[in-house]
Amino acid sequence: MEFQFARNIQIGGSLAYLVLESNIGEHQLITVVHKNDFKNKLGGTRFVRHGTAEEAFYLAKGMSEKCLAFPVPN
């Protein structure tokens, strides 16, 4: 199993808090955290056959922007 981990890296001109990539056999797993400064922690998973850290980053960034627009109560 291959495993790569990075914090505070630039993707597409924005900062990603965390990027985790691993390969298990033929499967590629990518996790990206755009921001980690919300009181409530939200997450999501999307399964695709072929993806990139950049695609995962934009999905995470979109979730951050949605949380700013529509705050989730405690």
Average confidence (pLDDT) over 39-55: 75
Domain count, the chain: 1
Domain coverage including residue 47: 2-69
Instruction: Compute the distance between CA of residue 36 and CA of residue 57 in angstroms, rounded to an integer.
Output: 13
For residue 8, the model assigns a pLDDT of 92
Poorest-pLDDT segment among 9-13, 48-52, 58-62? 48-52
In a domain, 74, yes or no: no
pTM of the predicted protein model: 0.73
